Structure 1
Amino acid sequence: MFRNILIPTDGSSLATVAVDAAVAFAKEVGANITVFTVMEPFHLFTSSSYQLGSTREEYEALSREHAAQTLAAAQAQAERAGVACATDQVRSHEVFRAIIQKAEDIGADLIVMASHGRSGVGALIVGSVTAKVLTHSTIPVLVYRKK
């Protein structure tokens, strides 16, 4: 049923758990995977700890390095499992739209991603990329949540 799975990740520990589960699932069903990272552009006014102490150039270099490390780790894991894996990264102000667009571009039939499970004020302030993907995607989404 699922042959082409998109796995968006930000490299967080929870997202890594979702990548692990998605690789195992892909192996079980014989699917190919694409691991995808969306880097947010530098913002002059931000609450992101990555951006507060950085210049634009430093932030962009650090975010590219973090994305490359995250994708390399996921690709190595997929190779060890014998799962065909492609990787990609983009920079976008709207992370959820970039994820949905990538899924459509590669013909994904499933998106597997993590959710931090924030609620209340935390969800309102931080927002939820996963909730936005669930709301706007026509492609099925499998969500791994923090236990």
Structure 2
Amino acid sequence: MYKRILVATDGSALSRKAVKEAIALAASLGAGLVTLNVVPRYPLGYFEGGSSVSSEDVGRIEKDWSDKGQIIADAAKKLAETAGVNAKAVIAKSDLVAASILAAAKKNKCDLIVMASHGRKGISRILLGSETQQVLTHSGIPVLVLR
């Protein structure tokens, strides 16, 4: 059925639920697992001098975020390996979370994406957006959404 599953995780309690479900599914199917954390880039001003943070500080902050993202992805990988699932930990550096998830799924030849959704509705969904909705809308492969 599925040979390689990508699970997107941000380390939150809800995404840890998605990781556990993805691991269980991968174990039951004998599939591999790719654990993904998308790390944002540091926001810079649009105008020269718009940022009060030095380029060295920006580099340090982005490295800290990358290190934390790798820790999250590695923790999910370790859980998978403990369950006997062959896993790979990946981070992507981008402000476009949904696009990064889709790109990682394509790059790693995944045939299923597993991710969590907060299930926001109404104005909060409009204001906060929905990365899950974007993945669902643009994915060419199946997406399993957990709440």
Deviation at 1:68, TM superposition (A): 1.7
Of 121, 140, 144, the match for 2:146: 144
Residue in structure 1 matched with residue 110 of structure 2 by the alignment: 108
After superposition, what is the alpha-carbon deviation per residue over 1:59-97, rounded to whole angstroms, capped at 9, x for unaligned?
313311221221121111011100000111111121111
Q: Percent identity?
A: 40
Stretches of 4+ aligned residues off by more than 2 angstroms = 55-59
Indicate whether 1:2 and 2:5 are aligned.
Answer: no
Deviation at 1:57, TM superposition (A): 3.7
Distance 2:116 2:106 in 1: 19
SS in 2 for 1:93: coil
Distance 2:74 2:38 in 1: 15
Which residue identity lines up with residue 69 of structure 1 in the other structure? I
Query: Tell me, which stretches of 5 or more residues in structure 2 are unaligned?
Result: 46-56
Matches within 5 A, 1:28-107: 28-44=28-44, 56-107=58-109
- State TM-score, norm by structure 1: 0.87
Indicate whether 1:24 and 2:24 are aligned.
Answer: yes
Deviation at 1:58, TM superposition (A): 4.6
Deviation at 1:10, TM superposition (A): 1.1
SS in 2 for 1:108: coil
Superposition RMSD on alpha carbons, in Å?
1.6
